[in-house]
Chain A
Amino acid sequence: MTATPAGRGPTMQSYVLVWIGLILIVGVEVFLTYERLSAGTLLASLLVLALIEAALAVMYFMHLKYERPALFWSLIPYLVFALVMMDHFWPDALRLMHQRLSAP
């Protein structure tokens, strides 16, 4: 099977290669978990690998690589911005919680 959706995009062989790549990344994640890395290093490693997996899935399985670039630029930067803002504002909420005055 080598056909592509609507005659565009990757072949079935490319999809299988992406799938194999994703499985290998999962294997690396499990391997790293038992390598006695520090929590920070392990978290960073797992996040980088998860982001690579997500990028492969979005670009190939979800076909974003083969759509018009306008779709990518209309969706992904804003999602990343929203997630980064969550990362920055939520610790601030914890800081404010500690600043509350005790009840009289």
Chain B
Amino acid sequence: MSSPYGIQSKKLAMWLFIVADASTFGAMLFAYGFLRLANPAWTRPFAFSPTIVNGSVMTVVLLTSSLTMVAAVVAAHAGRTPAAIRWLGATMLLGTVFAVLHLREWFAMIGEGWRLFQNPLGGSPLFGATFFGITGLHLLHVVCGIVVIGVIATGFRRGRFDADHVETTSLYWHFVDLVWMFVFPLVYLMNVR
């Protein structure tokens, strides 16, 4: 019996995971929104430089990694294995750059006294909880994605995985990118000084 969706079960499973994970991130962003509205003393700590500039660069890096990922999928389906591996490597590299920029920002904030429930500027201590909670969960997804792409690339090079595995992995990576499209405006741009 063929699938009513005309796709492989692994791809459908990835879509179902994405819908569930989108609900998780949606819940966190809604919680952040309600906490923010409920706290008149909400802190807006982010300056154009370095935070928004850094966040914009991170966004461009992640968007570019989505482009290299689709290039990997196109190459994999075309049977150009070396090119697909190179594009997957580029995606991993860009993901790593994103993670490093993010961690650098985190460490700078921690150096200024920001903690999960500590606000050095004297406003609501919940800012740290929502900021580190939401961006931390996203960063965890990015790191997991880098590892998974590495595993798939290695298996694809050895012939253990096929182009459909690369395409299914790409769905996850694009989803990570998609989540950042909401995190950047809602968590960064809405908290500009």
By a beta-carbon cutoff of 8 Å, the part of chain B in contact with chain A is 4-7, 12, 15-16, 19, 22-23, 26-27, 30-31, 34, 38, 48, 52, 56, 59-60, 63-64, 66-67, 69-71, 73-78, 163, 167, 170-171, 174-175, 177-178, 181-182, 184-186, 189-190, 192
Contact = CB atoms under 8 A, between A and B. Distances in A.
Contacts of B30: 83, 86-87, 90
Interface of A: 1, 3-7, 12, 15-16, 19, 22-23, 26, 29-30, 33-34, 39, 42-43, 46-47, 49-50, 53-54, 57-58, 61-63, 67-68, 70-71, 74-75, 78-79, 82-83, 86-87, 90-91, 94
A58 B74 contact: no
B7 A67 contact: yes
Interface of B is mostly: helix
B145 to A, nearest CB: 14
Contacts of B67: 15-16, 19
A40 to B, nearest CB: 11
Contact of B66 (A3, A43, A57): A57
Contacts of B5: 67-68, 70-71, 74
